[in-house]
Structure 1
Amino acid sequence: MKPTLVTDNLTLAYGSSPVIEELDLIIPKGQITVLVGSNGCGKSTLLRSLARLLKPQSGSVLLNGQDITSQSTRKTARELAILPQGPVAPEGLTVMQLAKQGRYPHQNWLSQWSSEDEEMVEWALEVTGMSSLKYRPVDSLSGGQRQRAWIAMTLAQGTDILLLDEPTTYLDLTHQIDVLDLLYDLNAEEGRTIIMVLHDLNLACRYAHHIVAISGGKIFAQGRPEEIISEELVRNVFRLNCQVIPDPVFGTPMCVPHGKGRLLRSNRLTVAGG
């Protein structure tokens, strides 16, 4: 049975200032859920709490019906894996050594390193395009390569739930699409439940089955992209005027910001006309 992840009246805070308040959320099993919202709205804070990295001020996160804070770290790590923002590897650690850390939750004094562990690590390195760099120190890599090395470690953990905070950070457009395609395939082929924070709303609409738009520490809207993404939502959640049109390739909602476009276009026409 696929694991379940829900929040019950969840309030998260740093000090006395609430970031998320009384949140009830059900993560759809076997789907890709993307958390979106403006900077500081609580997306990453919520993701950290779902991964048992931040203790609730009140309420709870339930994994398979049990409070996640009452479960052991090892047990939780066999069910879900998280890629946080800006992880830092110890100096001199190689890509291979980093990827192997993803298998530690599966080790104990009775079950040491196995052929299955080796296969999972090699697979994770292969699908992230890091096999040729596996003996390189992580701190010698470019930003994009380091990000892919961390994603390899997360995949090597072999969990049914993946939580990723901005997995496309530091990646150029080609590698952004490669990573999101990989996650989409993992979901489609293996039924993994994937929860991501993405800043790019158009990519979120393209890859998500379920979008959760957060504003002011609460859920502004949630559902399928085509059901909830609108000019009104973008205006209220992101404080941005835009036009929402169908993506010409996939038909999913695509946000075209108004921004300063007319002013820039006017200036260009003035310059071109002398």
Structure 2
Amino acid sequence: MNLQCADCHSIRSNGLCLRYGETTIFQELNLCIPQGKVTVFIGSNGCGKSTLLRSLARLLKPHSGEIILDGSDISSLSTKDVARRLAILPQGPSAPEGLTVLQLVKQGRYPYQNWLQQWSEKDERMVRKALELTHMTDLAERSVDSLSGGQRQRAWIAMTLAQETPTILLDEPTTYLDLAHQIEVLDLLHELNVHENRTIVMVLHDINLACRYAHNIVAVKDRKVWSEGPPSDVVTEKLIREVFDLECRVIEDPLFFTPMVVPYGKGKTPVQAPAASVVSKAAAI
């Protein structure tokens, strides 16, 4: 075991092989998720990002290899023990009709309940804290199915927070949300990382938002990690071409100074910028 890696990473995989039937999704995958950071998986549709996330949460059993969670082989831990260490929010979760936000968030305390220990003052305190952190206190008695997309996603995140886990995994948490609600959810996850020191691992399709919010980006292609590291090191024109088969320019985001991908595909080439004299003349008119 790499002790240095174990000390600074919340989740690791060693020689991980994932399969669906006879189809190999990943082969001999070694991956480290840095503790206390935001990690984002990127890659083309069907490359295995969600499969990898599910395996890290023990929702998919590896064909071979191991996943180490907080220094322990995740396969040796009980279900409740895993649920106390990490929470996962799958893509497009659904709640029973009529379930209130408060009832949903209370379900996050399930890992701490047993026949000896029923609902406690701490459970109540953690639920209130989760509602406060997600700004959902005023909506606690509303039914989940009556909420807007952004509010609904915040309610589900509140449930994961009530689990009181140091690590949170999210599969495409911004899918089906408009841009304003995407930023709302990502800002919330950023705050949880900064103020609560939560390790955040998520799958995102928007590469520019991934660059803005991630400390660490994992690009996936051809059953392996194609590139991994800070956005400025990973997101290049060469990588976008290799991983997404897309032509682009990578420029600096004018607000956050992170990489910003400007795609143009193969059928439409960029227009040359007009000469300075022409621009000046047009401005004068």
Moved more, 7-16 or 253-262: 253-262
Q: Secondary structure at the match of 1:112?
A: coil
* Pair 1:54-2:60 in alignment: yes
Where do 5+ consecutive residues of structure 2 fail to align?
A: 1-6, 272-285
Question: Is 1:15 matched with 2:21?
Answer: yes
Q: Residue 170 of structure 1: CA displacement?
A: 2.8
**Aligned counterpart, 2:196:** 190
Give, in angstroms, the shift of residue 261 of structure 1. 8.9
CA separation of 1:118/1:200 partners in 2, compared to 1, >3 Å: closer, same or farther?
Answer: same
Q: Runs of 4 or more off by more than 6 Å in structure 1?
A: none
State the distance in 2 between where 1:51 and 1:233 align: 28
* Structure with larger Rg: 2
In structure 1, the partner of 2:205 is 199
**Post-superposition shift, 1:115?**
2.5
Query: Which stretch of the first structure deviates more once superposed, 186-195 or 170-179?
Result: 170-179
SS in 1 for 2:128: helix
Aligned residues between the structures: 266
User: Residues 151-192 of structure 1, C-alpha deviation per residue, up to 9 Å, x if partnerless?
Assistant: 111111111001011111232222221221221122122221
| Displacement after TM superposition at 1:110 (Å) | 3.3
* Whole-Å separation in 2 of the counterparts to 1:211 and 1:264: 27
| 2:95 counterpart SS class | coil
Give the distance between the partners of 1:182 and 1:145, measured in 2 at CA: 11
* Deviation readout 1:92-133 (Å, 9 max, x if unpaired): 221111110011112223332222222222222233233232
CA distance in 1, matches of 2:125, 2:148: 26
Which residue does the alignment assign to 1:226? 232
Is the Cα–Cα contact under 8 Å of residues 218 and 225 in structure 2 kept in the other structure? yes
- Please tell me whether the aligned partners of residues 2 and 160 of structure 1 are also in contact (alpha carbons under 8 angstroms): no
**1:55-101 deviation line (CA, Å, top 9, x unaligned):** 00111111123221221010000000000112121232211111100
Aligned-partner SS, 1:4: strand
Matched letter for residue 102 of structure 2: M
Worse overlay, 82-91 or 211-220 = 82-91
The answer on whether the counterparts of 1:147 and 1:170 sit within 8 Å (CA) in structure 2 is no
C-alpha contact 1:3 1:79 (8 A) present in aligned 2 = no
Deviation at 1:194, TM superposition (A): 0.9
Deviation at 1:264, TM superposition (A): 11
- Separation (CA, whole Å) in 2 of partners of 1:77 and 1:89: 19
Deviations 1:28-77 (A, max 9, x none): 11111111101001000000000010000111111123221221010000
Tell me the CA shift for residue 2 of structure 1: 7.8
Residues 169 and 126 of structure 1, relative CA distance in 2, 3 Å threshold? farther
In the alignment, the residues of structure 1 paired with residue 269 and residue 72 of structure 2 have an alpha-carbon distance, to the nearest angstrom, of 55
Tell me, yes or no, if structure 1 residue 140 matches structure 2 residue 143.
Answer: no
Task: Give 1:125's match in structure 2, choosing from 101, 113, 131.
Answer: 131
Q: 2:245 aligns with which of 225, 239, 261?
A: 239
Work out whether 1:87 is the aligned partner of 2:81: no
* Cα contact 2:247–2:266 (8 A) shared by 1: no
Question: CA 1:93 to 1:208, structure 2 compared with 1: closer, same or farther past 3 Å?
Answer: same
| Number of the residue aligned with 2:216 | 210
Instruction: Provide TM-score, normalisation by structure 2.
Output: 0.87
* Equivalent pair of 1:151/1:167 in contact (CA under 8 Å): no
Change (3 A) 1:2 1:23: closer
- Do 2:9 and 2:33's aligned partners in 1 also have CA atoms closer than 8 Å? no
Matched-pair contact (CA < 8 Å) for 2:236–2:250: yes
CA distance in 1, matches of 2:229, 2:9: 20
User: Does the CA-based 8 Å contact 1:130-1:149 persist in structure 2?
Assistant: yes
Query: For the structure 1 residues 249 and 152, does the alpha-carbon distance in structure 2 shift closer, same or farther, using more than 3 Å as the test?
Result: same
Q: Distance in 1 between matches of 2:92 and 2:192?
A: 23
SS in 1 for 2:209: helix
Q: Which residue of 2 aligns with 1:271?
A: none
Read off the aligned partner of 1:147 and give its amino acid letter: Q
Question: Over aligned residue pairs, what C-alpha RMSD do you find?
Answer: 2.1
What SS class does the counterpart of residue 135 from structure 2 fall into?
coil
Distance verdict in 2 for CA 1:255–1:140, change over 3 Å: same
TM-score computed with the length of structure 1 as normaliser: 0.90
Partner AA of 1:164 in structure 2? L
Decide whether aligned partners of structure 1 residues 60 and 243 sit closer, same or farther in structure 2, where only a CA change above 3 A counts.
same
